[in-house]
Structures are given as structure tokens and as C-alpha cells.
């Protein structure tokens, strides 16, 4: 995965490096934010490549790419062995629909990821999670001891996962926690952001008389529900639908959007750029 200022020669340089190393490119996707400005140093370039490389050629491969190609173009880049699934930790409160859908997809090998643990501020879902053979950790989050709760979560997460996902974890994570964690965090929010951020979006949508409700999966930042969006979807509603029907239809969309975002992240299909994303 590569992002850098757009300019001629990027694809050629990457491809030539891979060819010289004996790699075989099996898929390549690219996007330029302003291709006609590249000659004048405008726009950004994003690239995702999948390639095969013999095991005996991998030692020092990433370091060489950094020195020979990435530095030349001032790239932000990363490589990941697709044979090594990303380790996912799930944070959840009491709502079970996104959690159970994710665990079901994980058990069916649909996520290209390995869920390694579930952490909750309630005990309610322990039996459901342990039925999947996963460890369940209860970390209370009382208002007067959130710092201690976040510290306990850091102990459970550090060195044990590659990404954290919030399956309707109804707690606001502090900026200090996010900085200390130093890992991508993905949230599912039950509205079509930027509409109805924060608490009670279905109630507010019903009161506003909207005709579409949706869900948004996004990376978590210190700004509430303001991080880069990965995936969204909507479902139509009418004035005749009850609030309970809003919630039921919304939950269906939440499950699909959340699963897509987690899978795409774990397949290295998402490049963050400022407060936006490019999803290949």
C-alpha cells in the first residue's frame, strides 16, 4: 500500500523493483486525486499491489523497497504478508447484533482475520462469546474510574492484536487511550454520518422525519464520530414506521457495513488520507 504526491514514474518504479526482486504481480489498483495536475506536482497518488515472492527472497525485501523506491518518492507505505491474518480484538457493550454477526463470519473464515479476544464493560454477552471458544474480559467503565478501565484495556490489548473494532461499544474512548494504544480502531455508528452523530441517532432520525437511515463504519479519532469513513449504507423508512422498526432495519444495515469495513481493513484495502479514505 502506497500513498504519495502524484508524479510520473511511480508505477514504473514499483513494478521494476518487484520484477528485479523476482516478484510476480497478481493484482494492482491505483487512484490519482488529480491526474492532470501530476506533471506540476499536484494531486495525491494511491496504490495497492498484491504480489507473490519466494520465501528465500524475502529477507531484507521491505528494507530495500524503502531505500530504493519509497524514499525517492517520499511515500507513506506498508507491506503485509496476506498469509498472516490480522489479529482482531472486539470491544462491545450490551448490544449483540454486530458482535454475533462478526463472530459468525469469523467462524466461517469470511473476514480474513483472527478474532483473538472480546472485551466488554458488561457481563451480559460472556456466554455467547465463550460459546465461540474466545476469551471474554469484563472491564467496567464507571464514570468516576474510566482512566483505570482504559488502563486495564491497554494491558489486554497491547501486543495481542493488530486492530481493535467497536461492535456497538457505547463508550467514548479518550484521546490518551487512542494515542497509547497506537493501533487502528474501527467503530460502527448507527446513522449515516455526518447526520445524527453521538447518542440516540434513531430517535432523532424519527423525530426529524427522515426517509433514509443508515450506518457508518469509520476509524476512531479523538473527535466523536468524526474519523475517516470506511463504509456506509442506507435503508428506506417511512413516516409509518415505528421507532422499533427504525432500530430493527438499522441493525441489519449496521451488521453489513461493519463486517465489510473490518474485512476490507484486514485485507489491506483501505488507505487513510487525512480525514478521508481510499478503499480499493
What DSSP line would sit under 137-160, residue for residue?
EE----GGGHHHHHHHHHHHHTTT
Residue with cell 464520530: 225
Lowest mean pLDDT among 32-41, 124-133, 249-258: 32-41
Q: Give the pTM.
A: 0.95
224 and 100 inside one domain: yes
Annotated catalytic residue: which of 225, 233, 241, 268? 225
Residue 41 clears pLDDT 90, i.e. is over it:
no
Residues 253 and 118 placed together within one structural domain of the fold: yes
pLDDT recorded at residue 36: 84
Q: Is the pLDDT score of 119 beyond 70? A: yes
* 221 and 197 within one domain: yes
Task: Examine the domain organization and report whether 57 and 104 are in the same domain.
Answer: no
Task: Supply the CATH number for residue 57's domain.
Answer: 3.30.70.260
In total, how many domains does the chain have?
2
**Whether residues 71 and 151 fall in one domain:** no
116 CB neighbour count, 10 Å cutoff: 17
We report the CATH number of the domain holding residue 235 as: 3.40.50.170
- Residue 12 shares a structural domain with residue 123: no
As a whole number of angstroms, the distance between CA 156 and CA 253 comes to: 30
Q: What is the pLDDT of residue 42?
A: 82
Residues 63 and 96 in one domain: no
Among the candidates 77, 99, 118, a domain finishes at 77
**Mean residue pLDDT across the chain:** 96
| pLDDT at residue 107 in the model | 97
Q: Give pLDDT, residue 38.
A: 67
Asked whether the predicted pLDDT for residue 14 surpasses 80, the reply is yes
For the cut 90, the answer to whether the pLDDT of residue 37 exceeds it is no
Q: How far apart are CA 217 and CA 187, in angstroms?
A: 6
Report the C-alpha gap between 103 and 136 in whole angstroms: 13
- 246 pLDDT more than 70: yes
> pLDDT > 90: what percent of the chain?
97
133 and 207 share one domain = yes
User: Does position 218 have pLDDT exceeding 90, yes or no?
Assistant: yes
pLDDT computed for residue 8 by the predictor? 92
Query: 93 and 71 in one domain?
Result: no
Among 77, 104, 139, identify where a domain stops.
77
Q: Choose the final residue of a domain: 77, 97, 114.
A: 77
Other C-beta atoms lying within 10 Å of the C-beta of residue 71: 10
pLDDT number for residue 239: 96
Q: Label residue 196 left, alpha or beta by phi (over 0 means left) and psi (-120 to 50 means alpha).
A: left
Pairing of strands 76-77, 86-92: unpaired
Q: Are residues 104 and 158 in the same domain?
A: yes
| 29 in catalytic set | no
For residue range 88-114, list pLDDT tens digits in order: 999 999 999 999 999 999 999 999 999
Phi and psi at residue 156, to the nearest 5°: -80, -25
> pLDDT tens digits, residue range 178-212?
999 999 999 999 999 999 999 999 999 999 999 99
Same structural domain for residues 137 and 220?
A: yes
Residues 24 and 56 in one domain: yes
pLDDT tens for each residue of 147-190: 999 999 999 999 999 999 999 999 999 999 999 999 999 999 99
- What residues form DSSP beta bridges with 49? 28
- Which structural domain, as residue segments, surrounds residue 101? 86-279
Amino acid at each position: 500500500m502506497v500513498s504519495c504526491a502524484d508524479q510520473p514514474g511511480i508505477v514504473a518504479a514499483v513494478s521494476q523493483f518487484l520484477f528485479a526482486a523476482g516478484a510476480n504481480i497478481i493484482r494492482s489498483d491505483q487512484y490519482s486525486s488529480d491526474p492532470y495536475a501530476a506533471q506540476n506536482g499536484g494531486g495525491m497518488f494511491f496504490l495497492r499491489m498484491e504480489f507473490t515472492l519466494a520465501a528465500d527472497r524475502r529477507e531484507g525485501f521491505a528494507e530495500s523497497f524503502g531505500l530504493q523506491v519509497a524514499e525517492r518518492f517520499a511515500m507513506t507505505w506498508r507491506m503485509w504478508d496476506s498469509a498472516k491474518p490480522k489479529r482482531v480484538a472486539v470491544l462491545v457493550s450490551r448490544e449483540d447484533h454486530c458482535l454475533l454477526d462478526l463472530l459468525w463470519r469469523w467462524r466461517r473464515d469470511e473476514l480474513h482475520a483472527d478474532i483473538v479476544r472480546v472485551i466488554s464493560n458488561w457481563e451480559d454477552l460472556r456466554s455467547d462469546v465463550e460459546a465461540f471458544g474466545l476469551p471474554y474480559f469484563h472491564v467496567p467503565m464507571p464514570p468516576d474510574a474510566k482512566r483505570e478501565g482504559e488502563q486495564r484495556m491497554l494491558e489486554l490489548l497491547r501486543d495481542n492484536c493488530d486492530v481493535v473494532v467497536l461492535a456497538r461499544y457505547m463508550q467514548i474512548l479518550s484521546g490518551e487511550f487512542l494515542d497509547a494504544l497506537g493501533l487502528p480502531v474501527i467503530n460502527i455508528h448507527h446513522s449515516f454520518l455526518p447526520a445524527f452523530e453521538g447518542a440516540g441517532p434513531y430517535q432523532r432520525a424519527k423525530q426529524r422525519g427522515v426517509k433514509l437511515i443508515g450506518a457508518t463504519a469509520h476509524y476512531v479519532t479523538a473527535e466523536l464520530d468524526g474519523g475517516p469513513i470506511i463504509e456506509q449504507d442506507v435503508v428506506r423508512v417511512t413516516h409509518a414506521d415505528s421507532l422499533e422498526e427504525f432500530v430493527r432495519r438499522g441493525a441489519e444495515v449496521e451488521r453489513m457495513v461493519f463486517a465489510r469495513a473490518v474485512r476490507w481493513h484486514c485485507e489491506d484495502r483501505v488507505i487513510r488520507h487525512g480525514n478521508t479514505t481510499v478503499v480499493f
